[in-house]
A and B are shown apart, each in its own frame.
Chain A
């Protein structure tokens, strides 16, 4: 019953206790309930507070629903993601196919993913009126397995064009880097959930193979979506919001319900992640030929959607960008 584009919950205050009551996650402080959320609606649960306690029953119920539980450390970079051991009925078969993948196949998959990322970086720059022609060209030149490391070349051009020549991407820095970390943490949670639901193993990556990273495949599959976080952060920074606070978190957590164009029509990013992971599983078993990646966003899709104010009724909606047209 869980939908791909659910609620993102963050517990950031000390002294909170999270527990299970029937179909709800209950948040309480010193025994007093302060809120409850239906379990089926939760997509990602982010724990950032130090003095935070969970009940085991709650964690089990969340894992049953393939909800991603992300434990964040300093600067909102994820320290751990809780992983359901049993994610999909055909999991054993799919993981075996994943382990037996050939280098050539892995390289071709990475080519498709990296191309989509570079293309999306170009789309983001274009939406901001920056010169982006080189990115389409770089994406075209990107060969199987990316032997020339065009992904890194693109990144070297991308960051200065996006945030100015003085910007350094450094996950320990505050400000813009903190905002990026937070947006990526939400995105990583959503991707982890999709990978689990598709019955794939998160550690067996395509390009990422860092020995200490247990989430290589998650980091691979989220690559094409990172530029969408980047443009949200750019917009926040341009509006003078550089702190990771309640307002900016709300905007960044909305990344999973942002609409993207796909071959099959417009769907939220959370759903695109599910479709990408499941298409990869089908590809590994030879049941499919291409990865199900969203189409590159048009500049118009990326133009300042979150700046619009709340509806006339003062209602807080699922995202600030809901079509309010008819009732």
Chain B
């Protein structure tokens, strides 16, 4: 049993959107809400993270982001594997933290 065909990936969406005028702020909020609806979680302000079950999902999500882009501003998307995600160094208030979300196939609450 090998899950290689749908390798585990993470997507990081980083954006700089203008917020000077009211329509710009509205467009920025709309884009942010779109990312939340798509299941992206805020990692930092203007940096959102999401797990994907494979490259085809990554491509589909990039297509949807492209279709929902605000008129102005800059968006960058970075994808990396789950293993690379696990090696992320997180520093917060001078202490080292574990990466927040870990992907599990079964969740018990």
List the interface of chain A (C-beta within 8 A of B). Answer: 1, 3, 5-13, 16, 21-24, 27, 34-41, 246, 249-250, 253-254, 257-259, 265-268, 301, 305, 311, 313-319, 321-325, 327
Contact = CB atoms under 8 A, between A and B. Distances in A.
Interface string B83-108: 11011000000000000001111111
Contact of B8 (A23, A318, A325): A318
Contact of A8 (B2, B3, B61, B106): B106
A40 B38 contact: yes
A149 B48 CA distance: 56
Contacts of A38: 38-39, 41, 50-51
A198 to B, nearest CB: 21
Given A1-B61, A41-B53, 12 more contacts: A3-B53, A37-B107, A250-B108, A311-B83, A313-B87, A314-B86, A315-B102, A316-B102, A317-B82, A317-B105, A321-B2, A327-B83
A315 B36 contact: no
A10 B109 CA distance: 6
Centre residue among B6, B7, B53, B106 by max chain A CB count within 10 A: B106
A189 B60 CA distance: 26
A260 to B, nearest CB: 9
B107 A35 contact: yes
4 A-B pairs with the lowest CB-CB distances in the bound complex, closest first: A38-B39, A22-B36, A253-B106, A23-B37
Contacts of A265: 5
B83 A7 contact: no
Contacts of A267: 5
A22 B42 CA distance: 13
Contact of A249 (B38, B53, B108): B108
A313 B107 contact: no
B1 A23 contact: no
Summarize B's interface: helix, strand, loop or mixed. mixed
A316 B36 contact: no
Centre residue among A16, A41, A254, A325 by max chain B CB count within 10 A: A41
Centre residue among A8, A21, A27 by max chain B CB count within 10 A: A8
A34 B108 CA distance: 11
A12 B106 contact: no
A315 B5 contact: no
Given A23-B38, A38-B39, A318-B8, A323 B2 contact: yes
